[in-house]
Amino acid sequence: MGLHRRILQFRVWRMPLVVVGSLMSVWAEPGLATATGQGLTTLKVAVHVHSTVSTGTFSPAKILELAARTGVDAVLFTDSVRRHWEYGFWPMRYAIDEPSVLQFGAERYLDLLRQVQRQTPAVLAIPGLEAAPFYYWRRPPLFDTQGGQIAAWDQHVLIFGLRDATAIERLPLAEYDPYHGNQGAAPYQRLIDVVARSGGMTFWAHPMTGHTGRHGRIAEATDPYPHLLELTTGYDGFALTYVGYLSLVDPGALWDQLLTAYCEGSRVRPTWIVGELDWRGPARPLDAVLTQVLVRERSPAAVIEALGSGRSWVIFRTGAHGLALQAFTIADVLSQHEAQVGGRLTAKGAVRIHVACDRPPSQYPATIKLIRDGAVSQTASVQESHVELDWTDERPPSRGFYRVIVEDPSGLIYSNPIFVDPAS
Ligand SMILES: [Zn+2]
């Protein structure tokens, strides 16, 4: 890492070639599905949505109707798979079981989503889960006038791509006993591994969110858990919600450290991001955080595949609609081979980084930052509604990554990375 960094600091960057497209006379809201290069279209996905099956206040049917009205192309439902806490043994057993996918029935949950999909075909209804494979008793309930306290319960993992009920029913959600304190990363690693073997994918949910709550007589407290992203391996990525996300995705922060570890070979897989709403009801718009995926076809399987391949970016909407990343690609100048977001390029020589954005007319500029190997390498401030930027960089000495951050008063976009390997 040290040597790698020093090499980068002495890198000479060429001046950016900035091409700003013609000013659009009339601002047009970007379409729901925008054509991009390579036969890909984009879909806006609302990820991490709870329905009445678990902790949400709207039925899946109502959520799809709302999504259709909001311009969301797909809803990734993540109802809590199991919400169960217990203490002691019969006849001194104390248990609380709250609404969840397993209480509702895993097969019934999948059937319900298939049924609402038929009713509202305009929006994709994609089944997923939110799982908590562990909690532990910090204060036992039987000897505590407060009713006891559990910890670590809100350390959550989002699960996508499990399609049959048996795989859901067999998830390891109660394998670690809650009577021997914190078990660290082990229950989560076990869950990640089982989901991967079942053909699904896992994303850490809200790692910077601490939580306190009550479940009947039980008090619950969970601290933020970014350390679990470092202590576990083999998961697909993590989700960005409103709380504390900057300390994950700021240049050089935890995400870049995980991506650097992958480039250096000490992590076996890249770590992708998704945007998450943790949506339970109308308190917050369904499009406040969206994950825009690049897909070849409009299907749940294609959306899941894109999320698991990093072919996506995260959009936080902070104002009026409209900030949109239209393209992020890197091409080898010599061979003209091109990689999309989430992709990998083998470069024989210099590389050309291309970024295109659209945004609503504004008196304030948009800032576009190119992050290379965890550091800001280029910053462009632009005033136009349609922006195309091209930067040229030397061939990297070893595997590296680029990603993009776009910000203006209407929103904030974090792209997934593109990896670049030098040709040997
Ligand atoms: Zn959660």
What tens digit of pLDDT does each residue of 366-387 get? 999 999 999 999 999 999 999 9
Residues 168, 198, 226: CA angle, nearest 5 degrees: 80
Top-confidence residue, 161 or 36:
161
CA dist., res. 160 & res. 199, Å (int): 9
Per residue in 190-214, pLDDT (tens digit) is: 999 999 999 999 999 999 999 999 8
CA dist., res. 251 & res. 402, Å (int): 11
Residues 52, 55, 58: CA angle, nearest 5 degrees: 35
Compute the average pLDDT of residues 355-362: 92
CATH number assigned to the domain comprising residue 1? 2.60.40.10
48 plus 196 within the same structural domain: yes
Q: How far is the CA of 119 from the centre of ligand 1 (A)?
A: 28
Q: Is residue 263 part of a domain?
A: no
Q: How far is the CA of 405 from the centre of ligand 1 (A)?
A: 26
CA dist., res. 50 & res. 88, Å (int): 30
CA dist., res. 312 & res. 334, Å (int): 27
Q: Is 163 exposed, middle or buried (0-12, 13-18, 19+ CB in 10 A)?
A: middle
Quick one: residue 398, left, alpha or beta (phi over 0 = left, psi -120 to 50 = alpha)?
Answer: beta
For residue 281, give its domain range: 41-241+276-310
Phi and psi at 65, nearest 5°, equal -60, -45
Contact assessment for residue 242 and residue 193, using Cβ atoms and an 8 Å cutoff: no
**Prediction pTM value:** 0.90
> Which stretch of 266-280, 309-323, 396-410 has the lowest confidence by average pLDDT?
309-323
Write out the DSSP string of 376-387.
Answer: EEEEEEE-SSEE
CA dist., res. 324 & res. 331, Å (int): 21
Q: How far is the CA of 209 from the centre of ligand 1 (A)?
A: 9
Q: How far is the CA of 152 from the centre of ligand 1 (A)?
A: 11
Residue 19 has pLDDT above 50, yes or no: no
Top-confidence residue, 303 or 11:
303
Phi and psi at 282, nearest 5°, equal -75, 5
205 plus 80 within the same structural domain: yes
Contact assessment for residue 204 and residue 238, using Cβ atoms and an 8 Å cutoff: yes
Q: How far is the CA of 206 from the centre of ligand 1 (A)?
A: 7
Q: How far is the CA of 49 from the centre of ligand 1 (A)?
A: 10
* % of the chain surpassing 70 pLDDT: 90
342 plus 419 within the same structural domain: yes
Write out the DSSP string of 2-14.
Answer: HHHHHHHHTPPPP
Q: How far is the CA of 306 from the centre of ligand 1 (A)?
A: 22
Average pLDDT of every residue of the chain = 89
> Which stretch of 5-14, 93-102, 415-424 has the lowest confidence by average pLDDT?
5-14
Q: How far is the CA of 130 from the centre of ligand 1 (A)?
A: 7
CA dist., res. 406 & res. 370, Å (int): 9
Scanning the structure block, which residue is given the tokens 């462009």? 380
147 plus 14 within the same structural domain: no
CA dist., res. 388 & res. 2, Å (int): 34
Domain finish residue from 310, 336, 361? 310
292 plus 160 within the same structural domain: yes
> How many Cβ atoms from other residues are within 10 Å of residue 172's Cβ?
15
pLDDT confidence of residue 322? 84
106 plus 198 within the same structural domain: yes
pLDDT confidence of residue 31? 36
Q: Report the domain count for the chain.
A: 2
DSSP class of residue 283 equals T
pLDDT confidence of residue 12? 32
Q: Is residue 360 part of a domain?
A: yes
222 plus 166 within the same structural domain: yes
Q: Which of 23-37, 80-94, 133-147, 247-261 has the highest mean pLDDT?
A: 247-261
Closest to 339 measured CA to CA, from 353, 357, 358: 353
323 plus 397 within the same structural domain: yes
Domain finish residue from 289, 310, 331? 310
Q: How far is the CA of 296 from the centre of ligand 1 (A)?
A: 30
Q: How far is the CA of 47 from the centre of ligand 1 (A)?
A: 12
Per residue in 292-323, pLDDT (tens digit) is: 999 999 999 999 999 999 999 999 998 777 89
Q: What band does 419 get if pLDDT is binned at 50, 70 and 90?
A: very high
| Helix or strand run (H / E) with residue 80 | strand 74-80
Q: What band does 184 get if pLDDT is binned at 50, 70 and 90?
A: very high
CA dist., res. 64 & res. 55, Å (int): 17
Residue 324 has pLDDT above 80, yes or no: yes
Q: How far is the CA of 203 from the centre of ligand 1 (A)?
A: 11
> Which stretch of 25-39, 49-63, 227-241 has the lowest confidence by average pLDDT?
25-39
423 plus 395 within the same structural domain: yes
Q: What band does 16 get if pLDDT is binned at 50, 70 and 90?
A: very low
pLDDT confidence of residue 36? 53
